Amino acid sequence: MSTPTLQERLGQEIKAAMLARDADRLGVLRMLKSALGYVLIERKAEALPDADFISLVQKEIKKRRDSITQFESGGRPELAARELQEAVVLETFLPTALTAEELEALVRGVIAELGATSKKDMGPVVKATQARAAGRADGKSISSLVGKLLP
């Protein structure tokens, strides 16, 4: 039997959360399914490749992190905590993250392959690294590492 796609796994997780009567988790999963539905309608597609599903999850996590920052600066720790819980649930759909060493090795490889020599080459290096990392590293950490490694 083949492993289910992330989209199929989402459906399974929703069923499991319903059976467990886990309302908080169920709400987050349904929100993700809704966001997925909008993307599928926009693309006129039945299914989303796993790489695109991962980028959708990353966008949703980024929204949560932005909200956490806003709520903390606004003095609403209880709302920040809720957003953090949602981000944790969403992160279960991401592949395991690259370690700092793996990410640095990947960036160095891309720099060597593209022959990048200065900060002017940063855009293509970041883009190529993101494509190779395939959701296993966030854009901010890739960008800062490329900035450090390029003279």
80-134 pLDDT tens trace: 999 999 999 998 888 787 788 888 888 888 888 888 777 787 888 888 888 787 7
Query: Tell me, what's the pLDDT at 1?
Result: 47
CB-based contact 107:139 (threshold 8 Å): no
Whether pLDDT at 69 is above 90: yes
| 8, containing H or E segment | helix 6-19
Per-residue confidence band for 15, with pLDDT thresholds at 50, 70 and 90: very high
Query: Tell me, what's the pLDDT at 2?
Result: 60
Look at residue 98 and give its three-state secondary structure.
coil
Find all residues with CB under 8 Å of 118, minimum gap 6, and list them: 150, 151
Name the DSSP letter for residue 122.
H
> Domain limits of the chain?
6-91, 100-149
CATH 1.20.1250.20 applies to domain 100-149 = no
CATH superfamily, domain at 6-91: Uncharacterised protein YqeY/AIM41, N-terminal domain (1.10.1510.10)
Do 6-91 and 100-149 come out as alike in CATH topology?
A: no
Q: Rank 11-25, 93-107, 132-146 by mean pLDDT and report only the highest.
A: 11-25
Find all residues with CB under 8 Å of 102, minimum gap 6, and list them: none
Region 142-150: mean pLDDT is 80
Whether pLDDT at 52 is above 50: yes
